[in-house]
Copies of this chain bind each other. A is one copy, B any other.
Amino acid sequence: MSPTPTAGARVTALDTYDIRFPTSRELDGSDAINPDPDYSAAYVVLRTDAAEGHEGHGFAFTIGRGNEVQVAAIEALREQVVGRSVDGLCADPSTLTRDLIGDSQLRWLGPEKGVMHMAIGAVVNAVWDLAAKRARRPLWRLLAEAEPEWLVRQVDFRYLTDALTPEDALALLRRGRQGAQERTARLLERGYPAYTTSPGWLGYDDDKLTRLATRAVADGFRQVKLKVGADLDDDIRRCRAARSAVGPDVRMAIDANQRWDVDEAIRWTTALAEFDPYWIEEPTSPDDVLGHAAIRRAVAPVKVATGEHVHNRVVFKQLLQAGAVDVVQIDAARVGGVSENLAILLLAARFGVPVCPHAGGVGLCELVQHLSMFDYVALSGTTEDRVIEYVDHLHDHFLDPVVIRDGHYAAPTAPGFSAAMRPESIARYTYPGGAFWAADPKRKEGQAS
């Protein structure tokens, strides 16, 4: 699917914004490792002189302090992007992706991990947003309707060929075309299954947990998730309350947010097994492939899930090679954007492991739904045992917010990657100069101390 060309248009500016929401004040998002996140975005807009006025929007998600470092990393990419042909970028995003990933001096700052890699992801996602807008398609549809050969060209196979070759990828994508039209129709009608983490934040008391878990089931969700890992007695009590609220047939995942060492993860998960957790998420360091494999062997039939902090395709490759995970959790803004997530979706398909994305944060639901929908229509061909995380905050700040109906993500129909934030939200929550922060007594107090 190559986008409609507009001759001669160029990227004229790469503008960045340090946007922070004061989420820590309600303990939304609190877990065993992150007690007080202020959900933030290092936000980037690629401006063009295209007659249609198209812009590309993207962002890295952070949880507060350090968002300015993430913004500085995006700024470091400006020279590589401004001046590029819009047609060229949109017809073949891989050219820019390879140039950014391959910049040897910037590569040293990773390689392909951390702040610099997330910055590349933000810019690459902005290019995909631009490409989808110009193609007048929601991104999931642009991807699902693209030629397999073109999609394979978007993937960087470096370090993957011992597990996935371009030929393997092409075969998977060709297979995925069978029945794609029917699946598109079904997706537009029913949406993609979601699960909700909203009941389970560690900072919530048992009443709030029970109330929200009960409501989640009433709202049609067939899976909820609880944060665990701070205190075992608390976890036993909370898991019991949640299981009692949702009943035996709704899946209940638990999430330790990397809190444990390997042996501790095994002990703790085993102690919670009586509540029939569906998966244990991030039991230990996201870097520990062998550790996840050991945990998985020990806690089966409880499944092991990880990925939101897995920094690139090379680690996902090994998690799959080592049989370390039952569930691959991609994140739309952690790795090198849509391009690297295509590689990860292909790896998961190659190993036959379901992808259940991480979302929440700022705009992660908006982005990642497109990747799962592409996966369903054109790669995995099924939504069985597949769910996208859903968290019900901060969506109002987006121009094309996710829509949840009966526990499903409704398929977006607006052109683009659903990445654009409302201009008034950007203005209000820009840190530290936006109206919210400028007027915030707590921030002023913090500065004075």
Contact = CB atoms under 8 A, between A and B. Distances in A.
B286 A109 contact: no
A111 B36 contact: no
Interface string A316-337: 0110011000000000000000
A136 B37 CA distance: 42
A105 B65 contact: yes
A259 to B, nearest CB: 9
Q: How many copies are assembled?
A: 2
Contact of A289 (B70, B115, B162, B290): B290
Interface residues of A, number: 62
A114 interface: yes
Given A68-B76, A76-B65, A110 B104 contact: no
A117 interface: yes
A160 interface: yes
Contacts of A114: 109-110, 113-117, 311
A115 B63 contact: no
A111 B162 contact: no
Nearest to A65: B105
A315 B310 CA distance: 13
Interface string A100-120: 000111111111111111100
Contact of A69 (B38, B72, B111, B322): B72
A109 to B, nearest CB: 5
Contacts of A214: none
B104 A36 contact: yes
B162 A109 contact: no
Given A115-B115, A285-B159, A108 B312 contact: no
Nearest to A72: B72
Nearest to A315: B287
A290 B66 contact: no
Contacts of A109: 62, 66, 69-70, 114-115, 118
Secondary structure call for the A interface? loop
Interface string A130-170: 00000000000000000000000000011111100000000
Contacts of A440: none
B115 A161 contact: no
A203 interface: no
A256 B108 CA distance: 15
A178 interface: no
Nearest to A334: B108
B62 A108 contact: yes
Interface in A253-268: 258, 261-264
A10 to B, nearest CB: 15
A34 interface: yes
A35 interface: yes
Interface centre among A73, A107, A108, A157 (most CB of B within 10 A): A108
Looking at A35, A159, A309, which has the most chain B CB atoms within 10 Å of its CB?
A159
A299 interface: no
A288 interface: yes
Contacts of A307: none
Contact of A311 (B33, B113, B159, B290): B113
Contact of A115 (B73, B264, B287): B73
A285 B312 CA distance: 11
Interface string A379-394: 0000000000000000
The 10 closest A-B pairs by CB, nearest first: A114-B114, A115-B115, A65-B105, A162-B262, A64-B105, A72-B72, A287-B314, A159-B285, A34-B104, A161-B261
Interface of A: 33-38, 62-66, 68-70, 72-73, 76, 103-118, 157-162, 258, 261-264, 284-291, 294, 309, 311-312, 314-315, 317-318, 321-322
